[in-house]
Amino acid sequence: MAKVNLYGLPHCSTCQKAVAYLEEKGVGIEKFHDIKENRLSRKEVKKLVNLVGGVDKLFSKRAMKYRSMGLNNMDLSEKDLLDYMIEEYTFIRRPVLVFGEKALAGFSKKKYDELLGS
């Protein structure tokens, strides 16, 4: 049985859907990392950025604070986006599924199946 790590929020409906889907597929969750209760370090966020394939794939522009802080009107660098994700967990697109040396941000049954080879 495949084992994965999941980063997200326990009360997030998308995270709950991902957990249910993984359980349905017989995939074990080795660790669920609550990104609100256990904030990620700069090193951890950088690692996730590398695993998902870039800052733009991990940063959530759907976060409420993105517009309320006026970030949508700014020209932000990758370093800026990284700093925001470290400062505020809501800027991390969730859930983040880590399987070996690959990861996905967000939930898609098709993409999960592709990553897990099922």
How far is residue 85's CA from residue 3's CA, in Å, rounded to a whole number?
Answer: 26
Spell out the domains of the chain, with CATH numbers in brackets.
3-116 (3.40.30.10)
pLDDT of residue 1: 58
Three-class SS of 58-103: HECCCCHHHHHCCHHHCCCCHHHHHHHHHHCHHHECCCEEEECCEE
- Residue 97's closest CA among 1, 24, 8? 8
Output the pTM of the full model.
0.93
CB 59 within 8 A of CB 85: yes
Element at 12 (helix H, strand E) = none
pLDDT recorded at residue 93: 97
The pLDDT averaged over each successive group of 10 residues in the chain (118 residues) is 90 97 95 97 97 97 93 95 96 97 96 91
Q: What pLDDT shows up at residue 2? A: 72
* DSSP state for residue 106 in the 8-state scheme: S
Decide if 118 contacts 25 (C-beta within 8 A). Answer: yes
